[in-house]
């Protein structure tokens, strides 16, 4: 998962960044509202964590201008302002949630996970596709109730596919999700990860194919029965290249 943190208190920002990185999130930070606004428009984040008391423009203005620019990225306000009026104002301007400081790390992570799930159309933390179950909170995968061992990158790809099930995802979207723009390898590495993931899924499911190749576009997760019934995929199935997805498993490749 890729998070943008807009927080001017350097100690607080470092603490939050450490929390998020311990959950294997990619976290970009800025201490200025104007910078947060521009970065949020430029890059595709799963969620933006926004402080209200910023040195240049306040978080309300950042939020208002983002929504006015049709930036639909989920936004969690994280602020020391605990009054009801502040909360109502933030939610009214388009925030998805409001958490006051001080806060518990577990609550922050749980709220982020819930907001991202809801933004992708999933109220439950478990996404099932055929025999396959992906637990977004626990970052685990099961096939017919049996755990399936995946590397960190394999899990990241499968989770993103699950969140966007039935939608074509480009290789650029996978790179953004897995690496967050830092030290990104060549696009062909995604083909390697998908190939290994397919083999593991096929071995665990008796040869079923869950990941469909959309030639010249990318990959799509579909129930094997649906994939057989609709093997011809058109361009209308493809997702916009600026969409991105969710989080990376803690296990290294």
Q: What is the arithmetic mean of pLDDT over 34-57?
A: 93
Say if residue 247's pLDDT is above 80.
no
User: pTM to 2 decimals?
Assistant: 0.69
Which of the listed residues 94, 119, 144 is the one where a domain comes to its end? 119
Q: What is the arithmetic mean of pLDDT over 199-208?
A: 94
| Average per-residue pLDDT for the chain | 86
- Domain of residue 145, CATH code: 1.10.10.10
Q: What is the arithmetic mean of pLDDT over 86-103?
A: 95
Q: Is residue 65 part of a domain?
A: yes
Which of the listed residues 64, 93, 119 is the one where a domain comes to its end? 119
* Domain shared by 7 and 90, yes or no: yes
Which of the listed residues 62, 92, 119 is the one where a domain comes to its end? 119
* Domain shared by 132 and 115, yes or no: no
* Domain shared by 89 and 163, yes or no: no
- Domain of residue 23, CATH code: 3.40.50.2300
- Alpha-carbon distance of 224 to 104, in angstroms, equals 41
Kindly state the tokens that stand for 137: 């909170």
* Domain shared by 38 and 109, yes or no: yes
Q: Is residue 252 part of a domain?
A: no
Q: What is the arithmetic mean of pLDDT over 33-50?
A: 92
pLDDT band of residue 238 (cuts 50, 70, 90) is: very low
* Domain shared by 109 and 137, yes or no: no
Indicate the range of 60-69, 107-116, 211-220, 237-246 predicted with least confidence.
237-246
Q: Is residue 90 part of a domain?
A: yes
Q: What is the arithmetic mean of pLDDT over 111-140?
A: 87
Q: What is the arithmetic mean of pLDDT over 227-245?
A: 47
Q: Is residue 249 part of a domain?
A: no
* Domain shared by 93 and 25, yes or no: yes
Say if residue 251's pLDDT is above 60.
no
- DSSP secondary-structure letter at 225? H
pLDDT band of residue 229 (cuts 50, 70, 90) is: low
Residue 156: partners with Cβ closer than 8 Å, 6 or more residues away? 174, 177, 178, 246, 247, 248, 249
- Alpha-carbon distance of 100 to 167, in angstroms, equals 36
Q: Is residue 78 part of a domain?
A: yes
* Domain shared by 135 and 226, yes or no: yes
Q: Is residue 250 part of a domain?
A: no
Q: What is the arithmetic mean of pLDDT over 190-213?
A: 94
* Domain shared by 12 and 112, yes or no: yes
> Residue 69 is part of which domain span?
2-119
> What are the DSSP calls for 147-212, one per residue?
E----HHHHHHHHHHHHTTTSBB-HHHHHHHHHTTSS---THHHHHHHHHHHHHHHHHHTS---EE
Identify the burial level of 55 via C-beta atoms within 10 angstroms of its C-beta, where 0-12 means exposed, 13-18 middle and 19 or more buried.
exposed
Q: What is the pLDDT of residues 177-201, one digit of tens each?
A: 887 666 667 888 999 999 999 999 9
Q: For the chain, what percent of residues have pLDDT higher than 90?
A: 60
Per-residue pLDDT at 225: 74
Q: What is the arithmetic mean of pLDDT over 132-145?
A: 90
The answer to whether the bond into 11 is cis (omega within 30° of 0) is: no
Pick 228 or 103 by higher pLDDT. Answer: 103
Residue 110: partners with Cβ closer than 8 Å, 6 or more residues away? 137
Per-residue pLDDT at 165: 87
Residue 212: partners with Cβ closer than 8 Å, 6 or more residues away? 219, 220, 221, 222, 227, 231, 233
* Domain shared by 50 and 110, yes or no: yes
Q: How many domains does the chain have?
A: 2
Indicate the range of 46-60, 150-164, 216-230 predicted with least confidence.
216-230
Bridge partners (DSSP) listed for residue 95: none
> What is residue 96's three-state secondary structure?
coil
Q: Is residue 197 part of a domain?
A: yes
Indicate the range of 33-47, 59-73, 180-194 predicted with least confidence.
180-194
* Domain shared by 103 and 134, yes or no: no
* Domain shared by 148 and 180, yes or no: yes
* Domain shared by 138 and 115, yes or no: no
Q: Is residue 13 part of a domain?
A: yes
Cβ contact 12:102 at 8 Å: no
């Amino acid at each position: 998962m890729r998070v943008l943190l807009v927080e001017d208190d350097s100690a607080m920002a470092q603490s939050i960044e450490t929390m998020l990185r311990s959950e294997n999130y990619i976290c970009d930070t800025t201490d200025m509202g104007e910078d947060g606004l521009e970065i949020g428009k430029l890059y595709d984040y799963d969620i933006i964590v926004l402080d209200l008391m910023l040195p240049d423009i306040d978080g309300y203005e950042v939020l208002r201008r983002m929504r006015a620019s049709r930036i639909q990225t989920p936004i969690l306000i994280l602020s020391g302002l605990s009054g009801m009026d502040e909360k109502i104002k933030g939610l009214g301007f388009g925030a998805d949630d409001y958490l006051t400081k001080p806060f518990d790390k577990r609550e922050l992570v749980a709220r982020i996970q819930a907001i991202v799930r809801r933004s992708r159309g999933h109220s439950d933390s478990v996404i099932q596709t055929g025999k396959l179950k992906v637990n977004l909170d626990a970052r685990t995968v099961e096939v017919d109730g049996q755990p399936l061992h995946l590397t960190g990158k394999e899990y990241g790809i499968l989770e993103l596919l699950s969140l966007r099930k039935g939608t074509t995802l480009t290789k650029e979207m996978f790179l953004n999700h897995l690496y967050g723009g830092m030290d990104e390898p060549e696009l062909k590495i995604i083909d390697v990860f998908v190939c290994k993931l397919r083999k593991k899924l096929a071995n665990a499911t008796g040869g079923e194919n869950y990941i469909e190749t959309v030639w010249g576009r990318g990959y799509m997760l579909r129930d094997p029965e649906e994939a057989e019934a609709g093997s011809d995929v058109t361009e209308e199935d493809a997702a916009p290249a600026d969409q991105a997805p969710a989080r990376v498993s803690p296990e290294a490749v």
